Structure 1
Amino acid sequence: MKKSVEILGLPIISITEGRELGVSKTLLIDAKNGTVAAITIEDADWYRGVKLIPYESVIAIGDDAVTITNSENILTLDAAGDYEALLDENIRIIDTKAITKSGTIQGKVTELYIGDDGKIEKCEITAPDGTTSDIATDQISIFGKQVTVIDPTGEKKNNVMPSAPEAPKAAPAQPEAPKAEAAPKAEEAPKAAEPAKAEEAPKADAPKEEAKPEPKKEAPKAAPAPKAEPKKEAPKADAAKQAAADKASEERHRRFLLGKKAARDIKMDNGIVIVEAGQDITEEVLQKAKLANKFIELSMNVQ
């Protein structure tokens, strides 16, 4: 998962041509589906019009570059008919007001978190007092051009305080118990006859049966504890997805490079040659390049 700021400004590298094709400029948002549809780029011919890369054509987004297969993955405005409507909408999300359906402004959207598949995972919202919080996309109903609308789930969380006064309505139920204790009036009856005392015994038993619901109050206390534990596993799942994505990206690079020839000598930092120009790239060469942190350099110098 990447922040938008970690994607914008990165060079676009063609791994088959070994050259830089431009720099990532903006994210083209598909607001309806909550995804990044493409990345617009800026190159030496920027004055000729918009150019973009469909997000599905991106091989990987690293710390230093965005890699694609070749320059054919870049679309001009004439060839980007499927994206024309999104370009017209020009929804950026960042800097829009975050507001609930009830009309409460939560702050301003200051950052987006993008998954490996291009899905917007969550938004960072900065409140007027400067504090920040993250809102998951399943809590957002609309990504608009000026406003991002938080769905009813977010409203319920904000309305916890107003709903609290309803609790006292249930409180009178407890005072009703003493009404059953009207039995003391019956104590006057025993002055007339002892049989009334016998009738009092079952009345005393009745409240005991009513007291049985008390154990039910204890059962819910134990239930919430185990439910909270699975939440801790979420980071592990995110880490596993990231690891799987990194492994898949590396595997694609490896398959692409195998059988190609090096365009120039690739050397370790200490001067030892990993592969000479014109030599075939083998598994052994890939392993050496990886250990020497020369994998990207090798990828950009093949023929």
Structure 2
Amino acid sequence: MKKSIEIVGLPIVCISEGKEAGEVKSLVINPEKGTVDFLTVEHAEWQVSVKAIPFKKIVGIGEYAVTIESENSIIDLNEIPIANQLVNKRIKINDTRVMTRKGQLLGEANEFFVDDDSGAILGIQVGQKEKQVVIESADVLTFGKDILVVKEDVHYYTAPEQLEEEPEELAEETPEALEGVVEESPALTPAEPPSASVLSFSNGYSSQPMDEIKEKQLQLLEGKRILKDIYTKSGHILVKKDSLLSAEAIRHAQEEGPGIIVELSMNVEM
């Protein structure tokens, strides 16, 4: 299993020629399959066309290089329509918002984990202020250009290594059992149920949890640049495009109701 950041920038080494053939520029995601299908190649002499390596042509992804059998494994994207289509979709995971299909904003994806044998995306690391959790890729409904949409009953892991464990074992683990794992990795904290750890826009909570949710909304959105004019229910402008969100504006949006705060959260520069 590799982080995307551990792959991008690696030299590409041709085994049969014994030479470097550029370096990995980006990972091309197939949103329908939830896989990395190609690695695009950066090379100083290739300025006109975009070239890529099909993931199935990769021999190995090591700490210092990506290896392929020969330079013949590198293709011109103009010659492979499906590869060109995937590149043009510009699907990314890092720096996208993660939201459930019912409008709960979980946070922002900042890393993802790839099976270095098959190219399958195993999980998504999501930042929630100072907390990091990992969501299994099986819980992702849509790999979108701007937003990742996930199931309501999303599974949280506290460390990427847990993705490799049996699902039955993960289901049996209690929060108390996970505390030991977290102590070994201080940067990560125990995962919590979605109702306590995500930004919710529904009205089915008691006053205390809702106060906590509103505070999380405030922490996530304050200081972010708004990408479009946001209006109140009565048609008055709430926040102007390109302005930075203040705590007062966010509070006002919360008072306007779930619909306004959802619109606000989906139109900020993350």
TM-score range, shorter chain: 0.5 to 0.7
Q: Name the CA distance, whole Å, in 2 between partners of 1:75 and 1:20.
A: 16
Trace 1:273-292 onto structure 2 (pairs within 5 A): none
Partner letter of residue 11 of structure 1? P
Query: What's 1:22 paired with?
Result: 22
Q: 1:229-287 CA distances to partner (integer Å, 9 max, x unpaired)? A: 7xx9xxxxxxxxxxxxxxxxxxxxxxxxxxxxxxxxxxxxxxxxxxxxxxxxxxxxxxx
Q: 1:73-111 CA distances to partner (integer Å, 9 max, x unpaired)? A: 101122222212101101011111001112111111000
List, as ranges, runs of 4+ consecutive aligned residues in structure 1 with deviation greater than 6 Å. none
Q: Name the CA distance, whole Å, in 2 between partners of 1:102 and 1:85.
A: 30
Partner letter of residue 143 of structure 2? F
Q: Name the CA distance, whole Å, in 2 between partners of 1:131 and 1:228.
A: 23
Query: What's 2:84 paired with?
Result: 84
Q: Name the CA distance, whole Å, in 2 between partners of 1:78 and 1:150.
A: 33
Query: What's 2:219 paired with?
Result: none
Q: Name the CA distance, whole Å, in 2 between partners of 1:125 and 1:152.
A: 15
Q: Give yes or no for contact 2:38–2:55 (8 Å, CA) kept in 1.
A: yes
Question: Could you say what secondary structure the match of 1:47 adopts?
Answer: coil
Partner letter of residue 122 of structure 1? G
Q: Whose strand proportion is higher, 1 or 2?
A: 2
Q: Give yes or no for contact 2:35–2:120 (8 Å, CA) kept in 1.
A: yes
Q: What is the CA distance between 1:149 and its match in structure 2?
A: 0.6
Q: Name the CA distance, whole Å, in 1 between partners of 2:36 and 2:153.
A: 24
Trace 1:245-256 onto structure 2 (pairs within 5 A): none
Q: Whose helix proportion is higher, 1 or 2?
A: 1
User: Could you say which structure has the larger radius of gyration?
Assistant: 1
Q: Name the CA distance, whole Å, in 2 between partners of 1:40 and 1:68.
A: 13
Q: What is the CA distance between 1:153 and its match in structure 2?
A: 2.0
Give me the TM-score of the superposition, normalised by structure 2. Answer: 0.57
Tell me whether 1:228 sits opposite 2:166 in the alignment.
Answer: no
Q: Give yes or no for contact 2:14–2:20 (8 Å, CA) kept in 1.
A: yes
Query: What's 1:121 paired with?
Result: 122
Query: What's 2:72 paired with?
Result: 72
Trace 1:9-158 onto structure 2 (pairs within 5 A): 9-115=9-115, 116-127=117-128, 129-154=129-154
- Matched length: 161
Which segments of 5 or more consecutive residues in structure 1 lack a partner in the other structure?
Answer: 158-223, 233-303
Q: Name the CA distance, whole Å, in 2 between partners of 1:84 and 1:7.
A: 21
Percent identity between the two aligned chains: 34
Q: Give yes or no for contact 2:78–2:84 (8 Å, CA) kept in 1.
A: no
Partner letter of residue 21 of structure 1? A
Question: Could you say what secondary structure the match of 2:52 adopts?
Answer: strand
Q: What is the CA distance between 1:139 and its match in structure 2?
A: 1.1
Q: What is the CA distance between 1:21 and its match in structure 2?
A: 0.2
Q: Name the CA distance, whole Å, in 2 between partners of 1:106 and 1:130.
A: 13
Q: Name the CA distance, whole Å, in 1 between partners of 2:22 and 2:28.
A: 16
Question: Could you say what secondary structure the match of 2:5 adopts?
Answer: helix
Q: Name the CA distance, whole Å, in 1 between partners of 2:149 and 2:172.
A: 28
Partner letter of residue 89 of structure 2? E
Q: Name the CA distance, whole Å, in 2 between partners of 1:61 and 1:77.
A: 22
Question: Could you say what secondary structure the match of 1:94 adopts?
Answer: coil
Q: What is the CA distance between 1:46 and its match in structure 2?
A: 3.0
